[in-house]
Amino acid sequence: MIAFEHVGKRYGGRFEALANLDFRVRRGEMVFLTGHSGAGKSSLLRLIMRLERPTRGRVLVAGHDIDRLHPTQVPFYRRQIGVVFQDHQLLFDRSIFHNVALPLEIQGIEPREAARRVRAALDKVGLLHREKALPIELSGGEQQRVGIARAVVNKPALLLADEPTGNLDPQLSADIMTLFEDFHRIGTTVMIASHDLALITRLRHRTLRLHDGRLVADEEAA
Amino acid sequence: MSRDAAPARGARTHRTTAGSRWRGWLRHHRAMCLDSARRLLVHPLGSLMTMLAIAIALVLPAGLWLTLDSARLLDAELEQSATLTLYLEHGIGEDEARRLEATVAAEAGVAGTRLVTAAEGMAEFQQALGLSDALHRLDENPLPASIVVRPRDPSPEVVRAQAERLGELAGIDEVRLDLAWLERLRHLAALGQRVILALGVLFGLGVLLVVGNTIRLAVENRRQEIEVVTLIGATHAFVRRPFLYSGAWFGLGGGLLACGLLVLGRDWLSAPVTALAASYGANFRLPALGMEGSAILLACSTLLGWLGAWITVSRHLAGIRPR
Ligand SMILES: Nc1ncnc2c1ncn2[C@@H]1O[C@H](COP(=O)(O)OP(=O)(O)OP(=O)(O)O)[C@@H](O)[C@H]1O
Ligand SMILES: [Mg+2]
């Protein structure tokens, strides 16, 4: 599903945020991405989303070199990926419902069908009763879950999450991870960047460890 | 990975028929059309200011164009009345004069003739100048008889050639054609047309700038929203759409205001202009915009608003990169 071929990424010409990354993620796999702050986890995910382009090597998704995508194709490519952002990226002037509905609106999904899917996604993250609230009225953890609902509302084939449990208490973190595992179980490829080593170790999935932009460990689940 | 090369699962869950995509597209257009109108109404005063600025930029060229258009009508009327006057030699009697008139009437390119005998000429002259007393004191009528010729083709070159030809007929003393003023008027009209075109272009640019500036602020205000929707797969067209509708609404509003201003201006000026024209013996009325004119003005202003928004949003989208 995802293949990094000797990928390097420099910001501003000098600083090497990622160096010589070479790995593959199979379709339907669930992978954790760890590393210290600044190790390059977000950068790696941004490469997959084509928010950044590699300065070296190739990133292939579903067999296609995404650097070769024409700019007009990029939006359609992004619609195939569900992303949970480190900083939520919610719209603060819209209700929870409309935030989650945004990807469907962009794709022109019929409103009734969209509403059904939005409610299903909100139900999964346990926020169905807050659908009319504005993001500002929600706690950080709840906002994070809205972000997750928005990422999965489209039933994407590939799910990327950048610190999805960053603001959650241990119980909620575990619940959210279970949610990701559910998606993994129905065939979604899932890639999660996280600091939460305790949780990662407990969940026993393949783990990629970054250090200063290099892949220092690629451990299959025991 | 293009649309058709989507990952297998994605391809299944995202399958949409052309029909449903088309409906979705229409739905978004409708939604954005209404949403942008609603946003205008949220800041009524600010929106009104923008529209007024657009209206002011439109009123001048539109008003001048109307005036010129009616001047063109006047011009056509004047051409209709373009005539040659053939003054007959002194001492030619009325019978002789009638014969001459028949000869002239038979000439090619002559649409009509009218004989003005010396006495009639005198009467007209007196009436026009109101000098009856002074002229009555003259013993002898100093005016010659004349034939007024209405040429078939009133264009100056043709008329001039005709004048030369007719002047060679026996018994014709002098041919008078007063084309200079007609030509002057025509040059003036051409000049006016160019001035209005230039003004139209300049003020059209002004409208683009006004709309562009307003839309630029709107884009800045909604920057975060643009970034987010871009992150989750919105196309440029999708992002642009609400702003294009805003621009079109601004243009339409400005156009409507301009129509209103033109109507007011016409009411304001029409009495003195008609009176002025009447004092020159002309029957000139200030032109009204009319249905067709209003439609053209509104279409132009809406299009300008849309275009201004398009240029601005396109320029700014390039600068907005999701974080
Ligand atoms: N747009 C950018 N311009 C310049 N440098 C950047 C940019 N984005 C990231 N970096 C740098 O690249 C390195 C990796 O950043 P990245 O955000 O990928 O780290 P991270 O592993 O996600 O860290 P964290 O756990 O704190 O989120 C950092 O040193 C950061 O300063
Ligand atoms: Mg990060």
ipTM of the complex: 0.89
| Average pLDDT value for residue range B58-86 | 76
Cα(A43) to ligand 1 centroid in Å equals: 6
| Average pLDDT value for residue range B235-250 | 94
Q: A199 falls in which pLDDT band (50, 70, 90)?
A: confident
Each domain of chain B, given as residue ranges in start order, spans 28-78+183-317, 83-178
Q: Is the pLDDT of residue A8 over 50?
A: yes
Cα(A172) to ligand 1 centroid in Å equals: 27
- Contact list, B23 vs chain A (CB under 8 Å): 108, 110
What pTM value is reported for the model? 0.78
Residue B279 region, left (φ>0) first, then alpha (ψ -120 to 50), else beta? alpha
Ligand 1 binding site (Cβ under 6 Å of any ligand atom): A 11-12, 17, 35, 37-43, 86
Question: Any idea how long chain A is?
Answer: 222
CATH number of B83-178: 3.30.70.3040
pLDDT for B8: 41
B309 min Cα distance to partner chain A (Å): 21
Percent over 90 (pLDDT), chain B: 32
Q: Ligand 1 pocket check: which of A14, A15, A84, A208 to mutate, most ligand atoms within 8 Å of Cβ? A: A15
pLDDT for A54: 93
By CB atoms closer than 10 A (0-12, 13-18, 19+), residue A154 is: buried
Which helix (H) or strand (E) segment holds residue A124: the answer is helix A111-124
- Contact list, B7 vs chain A (CB under 8 Å): 1, 27, 62, 80, 157-158, 189
Using an 8 Å Cβ cutoff, are A6 and A57 in contact? yes
Contacts of A213 (CB under 8 A, 6+ apart): A9, A16, A17, A18, A19, A39, A40, A43
Q: B105 falls in which pLDDT band (50, 70, 90)?
A: confident
Within 10 A of A103 (CB to CB), how many other CB atoms are there? 28
Q: Is the pLDDT of residue A99 over 70?
A: yes
Q: B320 falls in which pLDDT band (50, 70, 90)?
A: confident
Using an 8 Å Cβ cutoff, are A125 and A146 in contact? yes
| Average pLDDT value for residue range A11-35 | 90
Say which residue the tokens 């719209």 belong to: A91
| Positive/negative CA dihedral, B84, B89, B94, B100 | negative
Query: Domains in chain A and their CATH numbers?
Result: 28-55+70-219 (3.40.50.300)
Q: A24 falls in which pLDDT band (50, 70, 90)?
A: very high
Q: B11 falls in which pLDDT band (50, 70, 90)?
A: very low
- Considering only CA atoms, which residue is closest to atom 5 of ligand 1? A11
Q: Provide the residue type at A180 as one letter.
A: F
| Average pLDDT value for residue range A47-53 | 92
